[in-house]
Amino acid sequence: MSANKTYTVAVVGATGAVGGAMLEVLERRNFPVGELRLLASERSKGKTLAFKGEEIPVQVLGRDSFAGVDIALFSAGASRSLEFAPAAAEAGAVVVDNSSAFRMEEDIPLVVPEVNPEAIGQYTNRGIIANPNCSTIQMVVALKPIYDAAGIRRIVVSTYQAVSGSGASAIRELDRQTRQYARGEEMEITVYPYQIAFNCLPHIDVFLDNGYTKEEMKMVNETRKIFGDPEIGVTATTVRVPVFYGHSESVNVETKNKLSAEEARRLLAGAPGVEVVDDPFNKQYPLAIHCQGRFETFVGRIREDESIANGLNLWIVADNILKGAALNAVQIAEVLIDKYL
Ligand code: NAP
Ligand code: 3JN
């Protein structure tokens, strides 16, 4: 990257929960944006969004939206990615796609910069880089130093996922249901199959023939691809909880070689993107309410699993819209401009 070079960046799905966070992260990290092209659906015609103190008009996404674009950050859902990401790549943009559309395709890199930045170079295959699912991202950031030090045989994870993972309409739904409950009114249910206020739903994305949800199988398959290790056993239970921002995860990991809790704590404290918060006797552990707006993945409750020889338990929390989506995508774009564009 030359000192004063700037890049034309398109944000597809700019009016959404993730798209809005993309603008925030580009601004907070001072990404060298020259032109910013904001793209969304017909519904957003006439809207403007603020970036660096300027109001930028939202344009309607089309196949001709990408002329002159260097980097296209997609977060408008998998069907929009399938339809428009190849057109963007064809027009010369490098696409960083937040959807599940291309994640498991062999020739498309699936990247978490703290874990497998070297995979970014494979963008030349199809002009597309996939951003993993939010629940996968924060887990692999925390497991990377453990994987490198002791190897990983098996992971058992249960998630506690915030409603912001389901988009802007779900954030409004939790807010509305909470107010309706407080006023003694009947709760209106539109986004989830049941009320989400004061409830936990063991159901994220659709159910598959094996009894798992698609979200759970994303965690299994994406973790193996990012570590480049198809032998890791992964089993997941993903749960939606009435939290606005911040996914929490209880992770049990069986390592190949023994790693003490103390050693794991030391390794995690030095790992990129990780902040250890682990002083339980002083009530210090990661919390969703503390991670909102933060870039780090927080890890605490680090304990040895006393039921097996080589086991650890961790509690991992991150802002699902930032590290789980927008920040990870912008970090990929930073490596792209630093090393490749
Ligand atoms: P959201 O708040 O509902 O926003 C959806 C965005 O997509 C809006 O900007 C919307 O534009 C746009 N859009 C929808 N249909 C469109 C169309 N036909 N043409 C152009 N734009 C269209 O959802 P979100 O939470 O931001 O999530 C968006 C996507 O990001 C998800 O579907 C998912 O694929 C991905 N995502 C990934 C992660 C992750 O784990 N990495 C997490 C969350 C989301 P309008 O405002 O004009 O309707
Ligand atoms: O539910 C969450 O907390 C994360 C949601 C992610 C999501 C939502 C809608 C569609 C995805 C994803 O990134 O896997 C998708 C999708 O692209 O399949």
pTM attached to this predicted model: 0.98
> What is the per-residue pLDDT across 200-232, written as a single tens digit (0 to 9) for each?
999 999 999 999 999 999 999 999 999 999 999
Cα of 183 from ligand 2 centre, angstroms: 32
Residue 246 CB less than 6 A away from ligand 2 = no
Supply the pLDDT for residue 127: 98
Match 């064809």 to its residue by tokens: 90
Q: What is the pLDDT, as a whole number, of residue 1? A: 56
pLDDT tens-place string over residues 81-100: 999 999 999 999 999 999 99
Cβ atoms of residues 250 and 157 within 8 Å: yes
The C-alpha torsion from 301 through 305 and 310 to 312, rounded to 10°, is: -20
Query: 163 vs 168, 211, 282, CA distance in Å?
Result: 9, 22, 29
134 included as an active-site residue = yes
Residue 8 class from Cβ within 10 Å (0-12 exposed, 13-18 middle, 19+ buried)?
middle
Structure token pair of residue 68: 């002159």
Cβ(265)–Cβ(302) below 8 Å: yes
Cα–ligand 2 centroid distance for 153 (angstroms): 27
Which residues form the pocket of ligand 1, taking CB atoms under 6 Å from any ligand atom? 13-19, 40-41, 43-44, 61, 75-78, 80, 98-99, 131, 133-134, 165, 167-168, 324-325
pLDDT for 4: 85
Among 23, 25, 41, name the best residue to mutate to test ligand 1's pocket (greatest count of ligand atoms within 8 A of Cβ).
41
* CA pair distance 194, 173, nearest whole angstrom: 11
Distance of alpha carbon 63 from alpha carbon 204, whole angstroms: 31
Give the model confidence (pLDDT) of 147-171 as tens digits. 999 999 999 999 999 999 999 999 9
Angle formed by the axes of helices 214-227 and 134-150, to 10°?
40
Q: Taking 90 as the threshold, does the pLDDT of residue 63 lie above it?
A: yes
Residue 133 Cβ contacting ligand 2 at under 6 Å: yes
Most distant CA atoms of the chain, gap in Å? 61
The angle at the Cα of 316, spanning 310 to 317, to the nearest 5 degrees, equals 180
Q: Ligand 1 centroid vs 46 CA: distance in angstroms?
A: 18
Place of tokens 């774009």: 333
Binding site membership of 252 for ligand 2 (Cβ less than 6 Å): no
Strand order in the sheet with 152-161: 233-240, 152-161, 247-255, 311-318, 297-304, 274-276
Whether residue 138 has its Cβ less than 6 Å from ligand 2 = no
Q: Express each pLDDT in 219-276 by its tens digit.
A: 999 999 999 999 999 999 999 999 999 999 999 999 999 999 999 999 999 999 999 9
What's the one-letter identity of residue 341?
A: L
Distance CA 27, CA 175 (A): 28
3-state SS, residue 319: coil
Question: What's 188's DSSP letter?
Answer: P
Q: Which residue, among 187, 181, 118, 114, has the nearest Cα to 144 in the 3D structure?
A: 114
Average pLDDT rounded to a whole number, residues 97-120 = 98
Most informative mutation of 83, 105, 133 for ligand 2 (most atoms within 8 A of CB): 133
How far is the centre of ligand 1, averaged over its atoms, from the C-alpha of 13 (Å)? 5
Q: How far is the CA of 165 from the centre of ligand 2 (A)?
A: 7
Considering every ligand atom, which ligand is closest to the CA of 23? 1
Span from the CA of 166 to the centroid of ligand 1 (angstroms): 9
Which residues does residue 316 pair with via DSSP β-bridges, in sequence order?
A: 249, 299
Q: Ligand 2, residues 205, 219, 220, 240: which to mutate, most atoms within 8 A of Cβ?
A: 205
- Which atom of ligand 2 is nearest the CA belonging to 98? 13
| Of 21, 168, 12, nearest in space to 78 by CA | 12
User: Ligand 2, atom 15: nearest CA belongs to which residue?
Assistant: 99
